[in-house]
Structure 1
Amino acid sequence: MSLLDKLNQDMKQAMKNRDKETLGVIRMIKASIQNESIKLGKDTLSEDEDLAILSREVKQRKDSLQEFKSAGRDDLVEKIETELSIVKRYMPEQLTEEELVRIVQETIQEVNATSKKDMGKVMSAIMSKVKGRADGSQIKDVVLQQLK
């Protein structure tokens, strides 16, 4: 089932349940997908493109969450945390810390990285492997630990 099909199905369910928060988030995701498909001139997006959109939505909400927390806006923090949990439902299962460390170590060996100077090579190779299953900052931290 494609992401758009799943969103449409969940949107209908949210309407039946009168779940305004879920409905609003699903509509935002669908709008992002539609905007991206218009921008790319495609009728349907690939799974990777859908994943990139979802990752962008998660990142936007995490950034907003940080801003609202630092500003002391607890009312908005709660709202964004709810939105974030709804968007994460559509993301692939996240890697555990152990899985991520293993992938990082394998990738470091593959690209023959020896120091922090090689971080760019390692990061680009890893990002193509994990595609949305791990947060970029989390990956960066693990890579830095491994490239001492």
Structure 2
Amino acid sequence: MTLLEQLNQDMKQAMRDKDKIVLSVIRMVKASLQNESIKLGKDILSEDVELTILSRELKQRKDSLQEFKSAGRDDLVKKLETEIDILQEYMPKQLTTEELELIVQSTIQEVNASSKKDIGKVMGALMPKVKGKADGSQLKDLVQRQLD
């Protein structure tokens, strides 16, 4: 089942359940997918593009969450946490720290990185391997620790 089919199915269920938050999040994601489809001039988006859009939506909410927490807006924090939980359901299973460390080590060896100035080279090779399965900032921290 494609992401769009899953979203449509979940949207119908949210309508039946009268779950306004889930319905709102699904509609926002569908709108983002539709906008990207129009921008690219394609009727059907690849899984990679869909994953990129989902990751972007999730990152926007996580960034906003930090801002709202620092501003003391607990009402908006709770709403965003719920939206993040809903979006996480559509993301691929996240890799564990141990799995990420192994991937980081092998990537460092692949690109022959030896110092901190090679972080960009490592990250460039690493990100396509773990797209949607790991947080970029967590990856950067792992790479920095390994290159120390």
Normalised by the length of structure 1, the TM-score is: 0.99
The amino acid of 2:89's aligned partner reads: R
Counterpart-to-counterpart distance in 2, 1:82 and 1:57:
13
Give the Cα–Cα distance (whole angstroms) in 2 for the partners of residues 137 and 32 of structure 1: 24
Q: Quick one: which amino acid aligns to residue 81 of structure 1?
A: E
Q: What residue is the counterpart of 1:112 in the other structure?
A: 112
Question: For 1:39 and 1:66, how far apart are their aligned partners in 2?
Answer: 30
Q: Which residue of 2 aligns with 1:126?
A: 126
Provide runs of 4+ in structure 1 moved above 4 Å. none
- Percent identity between matched residues is 74
Write the deviation string for residues 10-69 of structure 1: whole angstroms up to 9, x where unpaired.
001111111110000000000000000000110010000000000000100001000000
Distance 1:126 1:113 in 2: 12
CA distance in 2, matches of 1:10, 1:125: 35
Give structure 1 stretches of 5+ with no counterpart: none
- 1:74 to 2:74 alignment: yes
CA distance in 2, matches of 1:147, 1:7: 41
Q: Structure 1 counterpart of 2:143, which letter?
A: V
Q: Distance in 2 between matches of 1:129 and 1:104?
A: 10
Cα-Cα RMSD:
0.4
Give, in whole Å, the separation in 2 of the partners of 1:124 and 1:8.
34
What is aligned with 2:100? 100
Aligned residue in 1 for 2:25: 25
Tell me how far apart the structure 2 counterparts of residues 88 and 40 of structure 1 sit (CA, whole Å). Answer: 25
CA–CA distance in 2 between the matches of 1:124 and 1:43?
29
Q: 1:59-70 residue pairs with structure 2 within 5 A?
A: 59-70=59-70
TM-score (norm 2): 0.99
Runs of 5+ consecutive residues of structure 2 not aligned to the other structure: none
Could you tell me how far apart the structure 2 residues matched to 1:101 and 1:33 are?
A: 32
The alpha-carbon deviation at position 83 of structure 1 amounts to 0.3
Paired residue for 1:91? 91
2:138 is paired with a residue of what secondary structure? helix
- Cα distance, 1:122 vs. partner? 0.4
The answer to whether residue 46 in structure 2 is matched with residue 46 in structure 1 is: yes
Offset at residue 100 of structure 1 (A): 0.3
Letter in 2 for 1:111: V
What's the counterpart of residue 57 of structure 1?
A: 57
CA distance in 2, matches of 1:3, 1:140: 28
Cα deviation for residue 88 of structure 1 reads 0.7
Count of equivalent residues: 148
